[in-house]
Amino acid sequence: MAEPVMLITGASRGIGAATARAAAAAGYRLALLARSADSLAPLVDELGDDALALPCDIADWPALSAAVQRVEDHFGRLDAAFANAGLSMETSFLGNGGADPEQWRDMVLTNVYGAAITARAALPALTRTSGHLLLTGSNAGRGIRPGNLYSATKWAVTGLAQNIRAECVGTGVRVTLVQPGMVETEMTASTQDVPKLRAEDIANAVLYALRQPPGVDVNEVVIRPVGQDPYR
């Protein structure tokens, strides 16, 4: 059997790039999606011929669906898709600082719509391989964060994963929601003096779910750094 194929969105940095490296080491061929071809180039060069760069705005349905079709055309199959791309910004509904509301649109489109249409684009291919869909949620999507729209988008991803899993009953497709706590990435660079995970820690959780026997569906993985306040 040919080596399995995994698609990763938000692959150029952070959790996406760490997962690409871990999956490559585990024998996966990779389709790497990010908005910029230039941002993907160093990782593709590092991983070699079994990594395919697919510049794509994941909130653009025609571009995303075409990218998934290219994966099947290039590799002949798709075994796993990781809807990982995300944006974060400070918000306040009272107007107490944070990003201007006009900027909120990109975060909602990326975190919610992008995850939803990644699932829609990938699932027909995944049903043909009894494959695995994984989504990056967040510890922030498990509780109330005053004024925090990012948290609300991750609440939406939690519901999205559950609804997709329900629709996939009987297809053989597994669905896993990975819910990290604070991770050391560009999105959390401004948050200091709190415990943080490494991106590689989340990649290890993704590989744990992927490595389970076909009859085992790891529905959710919540992973926090030791000592993190669960309400932060």
pTM strictly above 0.85 = yes
**Fold for the domain defined by 5-223:** Rossmann fold (3.40.50)
Q: In a 10 Å sphere around its CB, with 0-12 CB exposed, 13-18 middle and 19+ buried, how is residue 102 labelled?
A: exposed
Nearest to 80, CA basis, from 145, 35, 134: 134
- Token pair of 125, please? 């291919």
| For range 55-65, the mean pLDDT | 97
Q: Is 208 a catalytic residue?
A: no
Instruction: Give pLDDT, residue 191.
Output: 65
Q: Among residues 28, 113, 150, 231, which one is catalytic?
A: 150
Residue 41 has pLDDT above 60, yes or no: yes
Least confident of 80-84, 101-105, 121-125, 189-193: 189-193
State the distance between the two ends of the chain, measured CA to CA, in whole angstroms.
45
Residue 205 has pLDDT above 60, yes or no: yes
